C-alpha cells in the first residue's frame, strides 16, 4: 500500500491541522475554549505544572549527583595522592615493598605480571604506585586500601 492510499492520511491530516492551529493560537483563546468545554483549566494547568516541576527537581538531583561524582574523582586523583608517591627510585621501591608486605594479594598479582619484584623497572614501580594511589593505598600510612 502506498502512503497516498493509507486510510490514516485524511485523519492524520485533520489531527495535524488541529495541532498546528493550536500551536499558532493565542493561549487566552485556548483557555476560553477549555472553560467553554467544561474542562477545568485550573486542574489541567496544575497537573502539567506539577509534572514539569517534579522533572526539574529530578534534573537538579542528577546534576548534583554528577557534581558529587566529579568531586570524588578529583579528590581521589588529586595532587595529594600524586605527591604521596615517593620522589626517588629507591624510595619508590621501598614504598611499594611496604605496601606489598601489608597486602600480599597485591604482591601476587604484581609478581604474576612482572615475575619478580626485584626485576621491576623504575617505570613499572612508578606505574604500580600510581595505580595503587588511585585505589587509595598510598593515602593511608598502614598501606591498606581506602574503605568506601
Q: Report the sign of the C-alpha dihedral through residues 31, 32, 38, 42, in that order.
A: positive
Q: 17-54 burial, b for 16+ CB within 10 Å, e for fewer?
A: eeeeeeeeeeeeeeeeeeeeeeeeeeeeeeeeeeeeee
Q: Which is nearer to other proteins, 49 or 146 (CB)?
A: 49
Residues that bind other proteins (CB under 8 A): 3, 6-25, 27-31, 33-34, 36-39, 41-42, 44-60, 62-63
Min dist CB 57 to other proteins, Å, is 5
> What whole-number distance in Å separates Cα of residue 94 and Cα of residue 58?
49
Min dist CB 75 to other proteins, Å, is 25
Q: Which is nearer to other proteins, 16 or 122 (CB)?
A: 16
Min dist CB 67 to other proteins, Å, is 12
Q: Which is nearer to other proteins, 15 or 98 (CB)?
A: 15
> What whole-number distance in Å separates Cα of residue 52 and Cα of residue 77?
37
Residue 122: which of 87, 84, 83 has the closest Cα? Answer: 87
Q: Residue written as cell 522533572?
A: 55
Min dist CB 68 to other proteins, Å, is 16
Min dist CB 65 to other proteins, Å, is 13
Q: Which is nearer to other proteins, 25 or 90 (CB)?
A: 25
Distances (CA, A) of 5 to 8, 11, 12, 15, 16: 9, 12, 13, 18, 18
Q: Which is nearer to other proteins, 17 or 78 (CB)?
A: 17
Amino acid at each position: 500500500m502506498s502512503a497516498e492510499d493509507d486510510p490514516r492520511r485524511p485523519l492524520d491530516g485533520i489531527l495535524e491541522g488541529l495541532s498546528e492551529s493550536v500551536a499558532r493560537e493565542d493561549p487566552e483563546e485556548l483557555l476560553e475554549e477549555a472553560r467553554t468545554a467544561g474542562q477545568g483549566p485550573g486542574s489541567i494547568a496544575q497537573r502539567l505544572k506539577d509534572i514539569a516541576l517534579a522533572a526539574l527537581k529530578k534534573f537538579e538531583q542528577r546534576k548534583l549527583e554528577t557534581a558529587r561524582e566529579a568531586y570524588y574523582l578529583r579528590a581521589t586523583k588529586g595532587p595529594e595522592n600524586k605527591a604521596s608517591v615517593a620522589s626517588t627510585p629507591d624510595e619508590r621501591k621501598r614504598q611499594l615493598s611496604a605496601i606489598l608486605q601489608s597486602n600480599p594479594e597485591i604482591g601476587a598479582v604484581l609478581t604474576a605480571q612482572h615475575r619478580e619484584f626485584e626485576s621491576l623497572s623504575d617505570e613499572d614501580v612508578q606505574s604500580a604506585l600510581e595505580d595503587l594511589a588511585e585505589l587509595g593505598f598510598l593515602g593511608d600510612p598502614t598501606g591498606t586500601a581506602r574503605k568506601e
